C-alpha cells in the first residue's frame, strides 16, 4: 500500500530546560553523568532552584527525531501526550514549525512533561525528567489507521518505563505484524537497557524490532559485553538492521554479515550533545527511505548529529539539507 508518512515516532513529549553547569555540580547533586533520571515535582523544583538562568526548547527523544526528519523535508508524524498549558503550546508550535504533521493529544490533570538538562563544559547532558502529561500515553491514544499509514514507526526506549506506553507499543507491534509498516526502537540510555534488557532482546530475537538504534554504551549493555567489537559480534547474530553511534568515532550500521563504518569530521567546540542521537536517527532513516546506501545513510545521520552538537538545543539552527549537500550527500 502507499503510505502517507515515511516516519511516525512515538515518545514522551517534553520541554527541555537547558542550563549550563560545572562538573562539580553533578557530583554534589549525586547525578549519573549523561543519564536520564526520572524525578518527581518536588525533586524537579529543588534542582531547578539550584541552577542558573536557562533556555527552554521543545525536546523529547522521539519528538526530536520527527523534527529532524521534518527538517530534512521528509514526511513525518508524531504521537505523544501534552497538557493544554504554555509548555504544551511551545511543543505544538515547534512540531508544526519543523514540518511534522502532528495532531496534539491533550490529557488532563498534569502539566506538560519537562526535563532539566544539565549541560557540562564537555557538552554532555545529564537529564532530570519530570514526567507529567506524557506519562498518560496509552493504547487508547493509538489510531490504527495512522499507524498503518507510516512506513516506519519509531519508539524511544524510555517508553518502556511506563506500562501504558509499553502496552501501546505492544498493540502497535501486533497491528503491524505481517504488514509493510516497520518497527524501529532506540535504546534511549544505558540504564534503560539495564532495566528492560530481556524485553528488548526478545523483541529483537523474534523479529518485532526491525531497525535498532543504540549508542556504544547501550549496545554493550544490551549484550553485557565489555568491548564494542564483542557487541558487534553478538549483534550480527540477530540479523537486525542496526545503527550504532560512537560519538567522535562516527557510527556503524550493521545487519548480519554487513557492517558499514561512517566517520565524522572533528568538531572543535562541542556545546551540547542534546539530541545528537535523535537527529542521527532522522538522518539515517531519511537516507534509507530515499534510496541511499546503508553507508551513506549512516553518514547522513553523522552529518546531522555533528550540526546539532555545536549549539545549545536539539534542533538544527542551519539548513540541514545544505549541510548534507556540502558533505557530498543528498
Give least dist CB 67 to a copy of itself, A: 7
Q: Select from 269, 325, 329, 258 the least CA-distant residue to 299.
A: 329
CA 302, CA 110: separation in Å to the nearest integer? 36
- Residue corresponding to grid cell 533556555: 55
> Which three cell numbers, joined as nine digits, stand for 227?
568491548
- Tell whether residue 111 is a contact of a copy of itself (CB under 8 A): yes
**Considering the rule CB under 8 A, would residue 55 count as an interface residue with a copy of itself?**
yes
Among 52, 109, 266, 328, binds a copy of itself (CB under 8 A): 52
Told to check if 317 binds a copy of itself by CB under 8 A, we report yes
How far apart CA 220 and CA 292 sit, in angstroms, is 28
Q: Does the protein bind a copy of itself through residue 51 (CB under 8 A)?
A: yes
Among 1, 2, 30, 53, which residue sits at the site for a copy of itself (rule: CB under 8 A)?
A: 53
Q: Which is nearer to a copy of itself, 54 or 167 (CB)?
A: 54
| Number of other CB atoms surrounding residue 239 within 10 Å | 14
- Interface with a copy of itself by CB under 8 A: which range of 28-36, 80-88, 160-168, 208-216? 80-88
Which of 141, 78, 139 lies closest to 107 in space, CA to CA? 141
**Residue 110 binds a copy of itself, judged by CB under 8 A:** no
Among 98, 128, 235, 254, binds a copy of itself (CB under 8 A): 98
The site string for a copy of itself over 159-198 (x = CB under 8 A, - otherwise) reads ----------------------------------------
CB of 147 to a copy of itself, least distance (A): 25
User: Is 75 a binder of a copy of itself (CB under 8 A)?
Assistant: no
- Minimum Å gap between C-beta 11 and a copy of itself is 17
> Are 92 and 78 contacting, i.e. CB atoms less than 8 angstroms apart?
no
42 is a contact residue toward a copy of itself (CB under 8 A): no
| DSSP letter string, 194-243 | HHHHHHHHHHHHTT---EEEEEHHHHHHHHT-SSHHHHHHHHHHH--EEE
What does the alpha-carbon distance between residue 243 and residue 203 come to, in Å, rounded to a whole number? 16
- Asked if 94 is part of the footprint of a copy of itself (rule: CB under 8 A), the reply reads yes
Instruction: List the grid coordinates of 13.
Output: 513529549
DSSP per-residue letters across 261-322:
EE-----S-----TTHHHHHHHHHHHHHHTT--HHHHHHHHHHHHHHHTTSSSSS-SS-HHH
CB of 313 to a copy of itself, least distance (A): 6
- CB 317, min distance to a copy of itself, A: 7
Q: 3-state class of 87 per DSSP?
A: helix
- Give dist(CA 205, CA 53) in Å, integer: 46
**Nearer CB in complex with a copy of itself: 56/289:** 56
Instruction: Find the binder of a copy of itself among 4, 26, 56, 101 (CB under 8 A).
Output: 56
Q: Which stretch binds a copy of itself (CB under 8 A): 74-82, 168-176, 234-242, 307-315?
A: 307-315
Q: Interface residues with a copy of itself (CB under 8 A)?
A: 20, 48-49, 51-58, 67, 85-87, 90, 93-94, 96-98, 111-112, 312-313, 315, 317
Amino acid at each position: 500500500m502507499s503510505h502517507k508518512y515515511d516516519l511516525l515516532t512515538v515518545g514522551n513529549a517534553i520541554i527541555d530546560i537547558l542550563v549550563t553547569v560545572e562538573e562539580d555540580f553533578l557530583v554534589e547533586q549525586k547525578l549519573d553523568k549523561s543519564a536520564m533520571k526520572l524525578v518527581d515535582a518536588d525533586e524537579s523544583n529543588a534542582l531547578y532552584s539550584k541552577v542558573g538562568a536557562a533556555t527552554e526548547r521543545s525536546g523529547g527523544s522521539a519528538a526530536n527525531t520527527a523534527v529532524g526528519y521534518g527538517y530534512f523535508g521528509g514526511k513525518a508524524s508524531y504521537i505523544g501526550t501534552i497538557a493544554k498549558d504554555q509548555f504544551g503550546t511551545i511543543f505544538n508550535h515547534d512540531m508544526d514549525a519543523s514540518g511534522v504533521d502532528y495532531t496534539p493529544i491533550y490529557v488532563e490533570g498534569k502539566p506538560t512533561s519537562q526535563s532539566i538538562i544539565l549541560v557540562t563544559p564537555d557538552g554532555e547532558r545529564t537529564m532530570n525528567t519530570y514526567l507529567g502529561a506524557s506519562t498518560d500515553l496509552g493504547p487508547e491514544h493509538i489510531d490504527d489507521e495512522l499507524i498503518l499509514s507510516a512506513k516506519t514507526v519509531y519508539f524511544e526506549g524510555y517508553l518502556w518505563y511506563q506500562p501504558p506506553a509499553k502496552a501501546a507499543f505492544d498493540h502497535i507491534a501486533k497491528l503491524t505484524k505481517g504488514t509493510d509498516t516497520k518497527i524501529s526502537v532506540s535504546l534511549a540510555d544505558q540504564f534503560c537497557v539495564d532495566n528492560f534488557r530481556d524485553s528488548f532482546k526478545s523483541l529483537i530475537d523474534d523479529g518485532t524490532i526491525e531497525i535498532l538504534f543504540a549508542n556504544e554504551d547501550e549496545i554493550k549493555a544490551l549484550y553485557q559485553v565489555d568491548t564494542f567489537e564483542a557487541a558487534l559480534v553478538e549483534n550480527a547474530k540477530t540479523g537486525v538492521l542496526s545503527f550504532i553511534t560512537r560519538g567522535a568515532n562516527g557510527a556503524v550500521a550493521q545487519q548480519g554479515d554487513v557492517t558499514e563504518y561512517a566517520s565524522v569530521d572533528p568538531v572543535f567546540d562541542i556545546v551540547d550533545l542534546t539530541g545528537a542521537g535523535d537527529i542521527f536517527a532522522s538522518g539515517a532513516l531519511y537516507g534509507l527511505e530515499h534510496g541511499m546506501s546503508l553507508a551513506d545513510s549512516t553518514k547522513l545521520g553523522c552529518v546531522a548529529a555533528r550540526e546539532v552538537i555545536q549549539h545549545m538545543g536539539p534542533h538544527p539552527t542551519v539548513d540541514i539539507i545544505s549541510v548534507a549537500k556540502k558533505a557530498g550527500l543528498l
